[in-house]
Chain A
């Protein structure tokens, strides 16, 4: 029955507009050619999973989408990445503004050593999204609600975020990313540091987030990709090998490398 629900969702997902378009993207770390000629269209209101063996470039590509690679001196990106038909590597684009629009959740929960409230209010404060204290309270509450953390956090908003459990911390980081009202959420192995129960909660949350955001998730777990995503991209040695509907990738892959990977022969 669960499977039926996902099938239905996926059918909806494929009909959405494209949100991100990557054309001939190359990434170099110094002399290493980390991403080779990647072309991909990522749809709005969809969860897109990037899978592939370690070092295949999936995280690197994810970090290109909000220009986090700019902080690495030796990293060089070529090709075009368009979000809403706007080239994000255009000199006129301010990476700081871009990152407010393209939120990111990291592998390890990284709440700031501040209170829960201040963690969530951080983004809205620096971007001036709240006029009054009441506005800010409102944003914090709705972000925590969207991150399914409100019930657990409402009585301890002013206690440090670092005191929460791993799963709660990760949902706090998701709430923090949501609070800047992004359009796209990038998640870099968001569950790899969590236990199975916390993982299940975060996965459930990701499925709900699809209502409002375009979600791109990098994962090592093929089961997770199958559970949460509608589209899956398989990366191997810096190449985008295959990109298609998730159920198609997992049931009827076109490329022999994809098939080897999902059946556990390479990786």
Chain B
């Protein structure tokens, strides 16, 4: 019985439990809901949750655990020389799983009968061809030992599936039964439903936190691996970024400095563009604009935030780059010759700045709005003009929050990838000229990981070290921003 069917059965039990428990509760109170502890719907919900909750959880765990356990127990039948090596073992087991799944598929599609599949032999049947016919491509011909393991795997899986169905559906029935037995008019079903709701909410919150932990852990382990293969001092203080990709022979220079220089340079340009424009837009919207203008303009500015970054990248590559080149290039209108190609730190920085405008303006707008109206009244009541009020009362009061917004924007800028990949070029350089091509940490992570590299050479593992460093920097910025914002909040509440 497949998982879908088990879930369907659980749902049927849950729905049946709902109506039975509800009916029983009503009956015990003589059909008068006023005599019951909880509303009838709570008794039903409680039974439905008892039927579905534990059963679904066990089903989920079972689906994850069963293949792992079976694979583990089958590994012992592999030849010793394969078992010795983790990589070989996983390859061999992948073959076994593939054949087993292929046979199941063949049976399901009617290409074989159950009997035929069970009694296959490498001598009489070309298994590779048979499976290719149902769409499962195998890398090599099947040998007898592998087929035997695959058959064992199928046997164990079939047994496991039956057990699974029995256990899970049984659990569902037991849950529904217990809830039904407990149901009477004085049973506090409402409390039970309340705690179940709380559990669901806790689970939702945990997913986000656990994901963060998982990401950090995966970064940490790979980073440690990288530093085993590459000296940390050369990484953090190296001024050259010249990876040799083959990993054969040539020593790579994997210096971090040119990348972080590019990152910070481009982010700085972006912030120089985004902060004044975003802040002025926010001041206009929150202090000057009439409600009508505000209700139209604010969503329109926020549309900018919805543009995918790849589209900004296109804009940088096809519009802003050539435009800048025509102004600052060798043959440009100013004959300055500062710029030699369309891709430059300036191109990426400008476009990234545009991207950050709605981010800065929307956060600052909220912060400026949270300055109490009493401050404005106080200042206007003393005969200050609107801009004096903004400059001398509102901005100082909102400043910590605005700094927080700017730091959040900075961490966005540092983490931005697509715009720099397309707009800034690929050369890692420590140049001071904003019109030179540069590259950033994120862009290099992309270029180190795209392609066929295996995750065992310093050239690919460096991506994790880069990611980790970037994560630490943006995390520090975010914490600083949150700290500042929170400190500011306390001032008025």
Q: Which residues of A contact B (CB under 8 A)?
A: 66, 68, 71, 73, 96-101, 103-104, 106, 108, 110-114, 122-123, 126-127, 162, 173, 176-177, 180
Contact = CB atoms under 8 A, between A and B. Distances in A.
Contact of A126 (B372, B384, B491): B384
Interface string B373-407: 01111111111110010001100110000000000
A224 B388 CA distance: 35
A108 B374 contact: yes
Q: Closest 6 interchain pairs by CB?
A: A100-B383, A110-B374, A104-B381, A99-B383, A123-B382, A110-B378
B377 A123 contact: no
Instruction: Bin chain B's interface residue count.
Output: 20 to 34
A96 B385 CA distance: 6
A176 B392 CA distance: 15
A122 B385 CA distance: 12
Given A113-B491, A126-B388, A162-B491, A99 B381 contact: yes
Contacts of B383: 96-101, 123, 126-127, 180
A106 B374 contact: yes
Contacts of B396: 112-114
Consensus secondary structure, chain A interface: helix
Contacts of A104: 377, 381-382
Given A99-B380, A100-B382, 12 more contacts: A68-B377, A97-B383, A99-B382, A104-B377, A111-B378, A112-B396, A112-B397, A122-B379, A122-B393, A126-B388, A162-B491, A180-B382
A99 B376 CA distance: 13
B250 interface: no
Contact of A173 (B378, B380, B388): B378
Contacts, number: 70
Of B290, B377, B397, most A-chain CB atoms within 10 Å:
B377
Given A73-B291, A96-B383, A122 B392 contact: yes
Contacts of A73: 290-291
A71 B382 contact: no
The secondary-structure label for the interface of chain B is helix
Given A73-B290, A99-B382, A176-B382, A110 B377 contact: yes
A169 to B, nearest CB: 11
Contacts of A180: 382-383
B333 to A, nearest CB: 44
A111 B381 CA distance: 12
A108 B377 CA distance: 11
B384 A96 contact: yes
Contacts of A162: 491
Nearest to B291: A73
A122 B381 contact: no
Contacts of B380: 68, 71, 99
13 contacts: A71-B376, A96-B383, A96-B385, A99-B382, A100-B382, A104-B381, A106-B374, A106-B377, A110-B375, A110-B377, A123-B384, A126-B392, A177-B381
Nearest to A125: B392
Nearest to B290: A73
A101 B377 CA distance: 16
A37 to B, nearest CB: 26
A106 B290 contact: no
A113 B376 CA distance: 12
Contacts of A177: 381-382
A17 B376 CA distance: 33
Given A73-B290, A73-B291, A162-B491, A112 B384 contact: no
Nearest to B394: A112
A106 B378 CA distance: 8
A189 B385 CA distance: 25
A103 B381 CA distance: 6
